[in-house]
Structure 1
């Protein structure tokens, strides 16, 4: 995967695995990045040299711009649509089933699928500038695949607010108060110091105890393999609508 098409990299240091994803368009998530990210999370979960995982994106701009509009507008049949949205399902299920605790680092604004990644973290740190938005309804799709992960963290009322109010940003303080973020910081330095401290402590903890804790934390999500596939099918149908095609064309022509 060339850098111009994005990248997913894993580094291991002192039993801490750091997975970094990147795309030149705001760390957006095309299908290839999604599948590589899911595969890397799964492989890291099977690596005995890793005791805790950190997921982050590159740069100092957006943490994640969500789904790739270039790929969305190119979808012209249901199977391709479902396949694209299954990429998000694969990432969330990889995070859910990974036996290692996962810390997510959110350094900037995040949209759609990026909010899902933040929600699927077992502990999520963010900067104060890390506003969030579930913009899917505005596109004519709806946050169907990421919905279970977000609702699990923030509850149905807050998830309803995010998913219905699809054109407005919610700030990091709101995300903290509603449980999406666990801690927020005023600078990248403070953010990274806190992540390093927690990751280092977890790297010294019992792998078996953390594995069992992870299973307890995710109890009740055993049906997500099927559930998220069904949600991908809904999005795969809706993305074919003229509403969605026209919205994306107008957005890209701004």
Structure 2
């Protein structure tokens, strides 16, 4: 987002951009409840209600996540897909997720089924969102994947194995942490909006730490924080000052 767009986004808010962006970062980066976020801000001398934190996250989370995704490099050509169940108001739903070989989240979709139609919809959504076609997709042995694959992208290699898809399965772990902290989701739409923002922001601040030295990790995080300040408008304000 440009500085002008960011200014319009924050127009009319009593709190400065630095406070809003910090609240959004804290909430999406760490497994905190809204009230815990309120308490953390209070410790820093900022009085803001948990309801205000909720509204900020709902309004700015998706915009920030979208800006981060637009800065990501082109996705890898090997996609890992997986689906897990989540409960929303006591009803069973399915969270579909796709990541590339580098662990970058390509897309998520909450649906109430995991049949061929649901898999087909997820495939088409991924192709449209990424604007790319993978060289190979890796899934578990759910038959819906095979049926949808033959219909949507039959020229793409499809590997099915419960042992090859650990990357996608592991990417669900942060979501499970947030689900517990939030005591579940209240609606399908709310879950989709939150998880779309969460997958963009949380992943940005989760480089593959186990592959880096401490110095390399600090350098990488410095770059990522600089990008965050750019897309939230904090860097622009500092330059103007």
Shorter-normalised TM range: under 0.3
Q: Which structure ranks higher in relative contact order (CA pairs < 8 Å, sequence separation ≥ 6)? A: 2
Structure number with greater Rg is 2
More helix by share: 2
TM-score w.r.t. the length of structure 2 is 0.24
TM-score w.r.t. the length of structure 1 is 0.23
